Amino acid sequence: MHFHDCFVRGCDASILIAGPNTEMMAAPNSNLRGFNVIDDAKTQLEAVCPGVVSCADILALATRDSVVLAGGASWAVPTGRRDGRISVASEASNLPGFRDSIAVQIQKFQDKRLNIQDLVTLVGGHTIGTTACLLFRNRLYNFNSTGSPDPTIDLTFLPTLQSLCPENGDASRRVGLDNGSENRFDSSFFANLRDGRGVLETDQMLWSDASTRPIVQSYLGIRGLAGLSFGVEFGRAMVKMANIEVLTGTDGEIRTICSAIN
């Protein structure tokens, strides 16, 4: 949710505003969950210190805490963001898409002053969570109208995905993004990419593309490459992302309720 917020109008909690034609209602955001968690935190904070803590800061802090609770490393979260007053569904097209090429993804990240390492690192957030069959079923049966599955999928993993997502089954069924470790924040996501077990096409592309593969390899500690600590680098990349186009000073507002502008 934090990622989806920051890539549209910056980290201003515009993703939390409810109503017709808001970002929340845009197709790329239809599977987001956890709005109730942010709303609950806001309710409790308003009771103690009304008008002080923005929804944007709550979202940034809750994101860090969710990673820690899932076994990941902590990081210091700069605060002081203010909330935006505008949320437009059509602007969600700025988000990286699940069918975007690596080149398109890199450009979308560069537009937000994030580099290739930031891209690989932040996509590594898929070490926890799930996705819907709708977003990857095309890979399992008739990839790019070939009549065959995506050849980058490990042949021993393909039957598992097909059993979870039958060709004419429930498109909304949830499947773990990090096979075997979807509830724990670790580096196994990258091992799955190496083994052809990425679920989303764009995830698996990180291994097949020459510009991103070395970074994945580094997170795996492959000999000959300078190994990076995924936990440390993830925190660094999250701080960088959380600074995208933030509102401070007299810009924006501190929303009383996260789902509505004051």
Residue by residue, pLDDT tens for the chain (262 residues) are: 999 999 999 999 999 999 999 999 999 998 888 999 999 999 999 999 999 999 999 999 999 999 999 999 999 999 999 999 999 999 998 899 888 999 999 999 999 999 999 999 999 999 999 999 999 999 999 998 899 999 999 999 999 999 999 999 999 999 999 999 999 999 999 999 999 999 999 999 999 999 999 999 999 986 545 567 899 999 999 999 999 999 999 999 999 999 999 9
Same domain, 224 and 167: yes
Annotated catalytic, 2? Answer: no
Query: Is residue 58 located within the same domain as residue 118?
Result: no
Domain count, the chain: 2
Active-site residue among 1, 3, 4, 228? 4
- Using alpha carbons, select from 228, 28, 59, 207 the residue that is nearest to residue 131: 28
Residue 224: predicted pLDDT = 47
Q: Is the dihedral of CA 181, 101, 211, 194 positive or negative?
A: positive
124 lies in the same domain as 226: yes
- Asked whether residue 167 is marked as a ligand-binding residue, the answer is no
Q: Does 8 reside within a domain?
A: yes
195 among the known binding-site residues? Answer: no
Q: Do both 51 and 161 map to the same domain?
A: no
Query: If you write DSSP's letter for every residue of 121-179 in order, what string do you get?
Result: HHHGGGGS-EEEGGGTTHHHHSGGGSSS--TTS-TTTHHHHHHHS-TTS-TT-EEESST
Contact between residue 138 and residue 257 where contact means Cβ atoms under 8 Å apart: no
Instruction: Write the CB contacts of 95 (distance below 8 Å, at least 6 apart in sequence).
Output: 4, 7, 8, 28, 29, 108
Q: Confirm whether residue 120 is marked as ligand binding.
A: no
Tell whether 111 is in a known binding site: no
First-to-last alpha carbon distance for the chain, in angstroms, is: 22
And the tokens for 32? 């987001």
Residue 256 located in a structural domain: no
Question: Is 170 annotated for ligand binding?
Answer: no
**CA separation (Å) from 159 to 62, 130, 163?**
36, 18, 6
Whether residues 127 and 90 share a domain: the answer is: no
Q: Give domain status of residue 220, yes or no.
A: yes
Q: Are residues 222 and 136 in the same domain?
A: yes
127: annotated binding-site residue?
yes
**pLDDT per residue over 18-71, tens digit each?**
999 999 999 999 888 899 999 999 999 999 999 999 999 999 999 999 999 999
Q: What angle do CA 82, 19, 11 make, to 5 degrees?
A: 25
Q: Can you give the residue range of the structural domain that contains 156?
A: 114-238
CA distance 99 to 117: 20
Any known ligand binding at 214?
no
